[in-house]
Structure 1
Amino acid sequence: MNRRLVTILLAAFVVAALCSVLVYRLVGMRIAAAKPQPSTRVVAAATDIKIGTVLSAPDLTTVQIMGTPPKSAILDAKNAIGRGVTSSLYAGEPILEDRLAPVGSGGGLAATIKDGMRAIAVRVDQVVGVAGFVLPGMRVDVLISGVPPTTVATAGAANNTQVRTVLQNIEVLSAGSDIQKDAEGKPQQVQVVNLLVTPEQAQVLALASNETRIQLVLRNPLDTKVATVQGTAMTNLFLDQSAPATKPKVSSRPAAVKKPPEMFTVTVINGNTKTEDKFATPGGKQ
């Protein structure tokens, strides 16, 4: 047989084998993709559910999840009924264990408080509440402004108002309004924000609420650094920062010391009388 013909046949056989393997793999992938993936029905929220709500049967439904469900997903509605919601849920969202309070802890704001932490209500400025930026889950810094106790009794204490940052990176549990009475006993609506703090921080806020004015400052939730912030006083706002401080001019030459004028003496002899007179003149000699 012709050697050239054998070479051509072998090359064709190799190409055909490679094409067969490629087609086999493509067809296998298509068949595998066409197979139905396993699915699981998990418990989900039937409607939007606010934080602190105690779940009941009408609040729950089930949804089909393709593939492997999350490890903390709830498969039986009985495991969710009667538990408080620690984070707001939306309609159709699967309910996870870490979004619910422990069994038997009930609902409301108390169910959202972490171990070792406390929730404290802080009355804030009306503008803060109207702006609507203080929402559950956000992070804020707490500023206080007032007159230090050591200067209250001194003259001009009203001009010594100071502001300081007392707490940083505090989580907001809830925000809303409350009805309180003013000095005349009339009801008025005030903005109240519940903050998640440690017991020590709760003492600071309790004292600040009675003695100073509190202002909340919104911060980026990803920014968890505690900055070193110095307090400032009302008088510092009116200082002229642009004017350089004047310094006394210092002459490079030492001050000349004035020399006393040279003196010369004139002696006058009149008989037995002798008198002396002194005169000052430039270059004079005695």
Structure 2
Amino acid sequence: MSPVRLLIVLIAAVSAIGLAVVLQRAMGGKPAESVAIAAPAPSEPSKPMTQVLVAKRDLPIGTRLVAADVEWQAWPSDAVNGAFITNGASPTKPEGKVEEAKATVAGAADQMIGGDPAKVVEGAIVRDPILTGEPITNRKIVRGGEGGYLSVVLTPGKRAMSVPVTSETSAGGFILPGDRVDVLVTREDAVAGENGGAGNKVIVAETVLQNIRVLALDQSTAAEKDAKSIVAATATLEVGPVEAEALTRAKASGAVTLALRAYTDLGGPSGLANPATAKDTAVRINRGGATTSVAVRP
């Protein structure tokens, strides 16, 4: 074989070997590793929620609730206490679907259907302090006509006292709870005659208390809707300790009449009509070694 042919064969062999190596690397390499994407863990099933009435701000004792003081808040149904006030609807899931299953407080007497907070708290007064976000319960509020209502609505330091009234002694029945009145007493006084002889009796009318708040008429602490008058047998008034003593003396000395005050007198002076002569003076009398006290009016 000639040297030229031998060189061609060697070049062809080397080229064949090189081509085989290139093809082996191109086709025989490791396949690209696929990236495994972990599937998200299944989330917990959504819990059903119930609308619970809660306080929007701190509510101290004696606060008269209005719609702006409370709001509905979603509450886990399994954590709803039977004392909570709910809107009475079935529990709902977060996506808004109504769950047909159980409601732990469904049908409770203190639930209010309709979803209007104003209807739930209308006329209610806070009996115990309620914090912001705290659920409203019937134990912490009191409504008109319920036990303990008057003790909550009373101004601190004041007392509630009742006096007998008729339509004639209560402005024809036009006095309503919340109005302001003057308290007058009518009594007989003896006038001494000439030379110390027996005199005639005269009728004396005296204003004992002025601008006094009317708490209730009979057992009604608020007038019915559209009511313009109430004919009652008793009127409960808000008085201070000294005014309570003066009112007690007035009831014992004669008939008591209530005079209705104008609404614009709300901020006027309230209390004893004549503080200088309202209190009796106690005089001690000693007889046979026994001392007694007699109250006399100066």
Structures share fold, TM-score greater than 0.5: no
State the TM-score, normalizing by the size of structure 2. 0.39
